[in-house]
Structure 1
Amino acid sequence: MTLYRATDAADMVPMLIAAYCQRVGMVADTLESYLQASQQHDGAAGPTDAERSHLAGLLGEEAPKAAGERGLSRIRYRRGQHWAENAQELEEDPQKLFTKACLHGLKARLCDDVDALDSYLPPHVAEMARKVAGVLEMPQTAPA
């Protein structure tokens, strides 16, 4: 059931964030680059060797045999290692903070618990997440 819900979220969340970005006036080319449509693949086949390699890198495990070969699996393994190392550092990248705020704002709105944002987020992220939750709160009516 967790994978079922995660798949639903993976399909829905990027488009909600994209809709918000359009609403606040993000340049179309920038939004298109963030969506990375050219890098998407069908999930019906399950995880690929490259994705299993990426996970091993994230978890600090040895590279799977496929990652020892040149190619995408090796790149993804090293990327996983890099992300795991960077996760230990403070996250001040504005794009990452914005994404984090969007996800927390969406969760707070869905759970109807916007006030809880202040209890577990840094103040600047909580403020952005409140704005996202606020936009999701009001139903938008079409102009007459």
Structure 2
Amino acid sequence: MGFLGTEASWFADMTLIAQTAGLLILFLGWKYAKTKNFLKHDKTAKTSVLLGGLSFIWMGFSLVSNLLSLISTTLTGILIFSHVIIGSLALFMGLFLVLGEIRKTRMFMIVAFSSWTAAMFLGVILYYILFT
């Protein structure tokens, strides 16, 4: 049992907290971009991607060892598959943006931000379905 009072493991609880913090920091970065404070925007984006990457590594073994057994044609299986695909898109787009591998255009940033938000939303739904 995790420390958030659900049936989730400690790893799942820590991942949820890290991803929530990363998304909140990303929202703060969006605010900085709107006010044209691009230095702070850059730092918050890099912090968010770092938290996302660390939580991905943190849960990577569990993801690889359990993914195929969890995917099915049930609603939960479809949610898991969607979460993995959208979350991977968000993480890798964020990583490529902060490393300068793709052009830092508004369109790419909106896609990365939107996919991260969608993946987080799906992740919270899955956490609730699987662990409460």
Normalised TM-score (structure 1): 0.26
Normalised TM-score (structure 2): 0.28
Higher gyration radius (CA): 1
Return the structure number with greater relative CO, CA threshold 8 A, min gap 6. 2
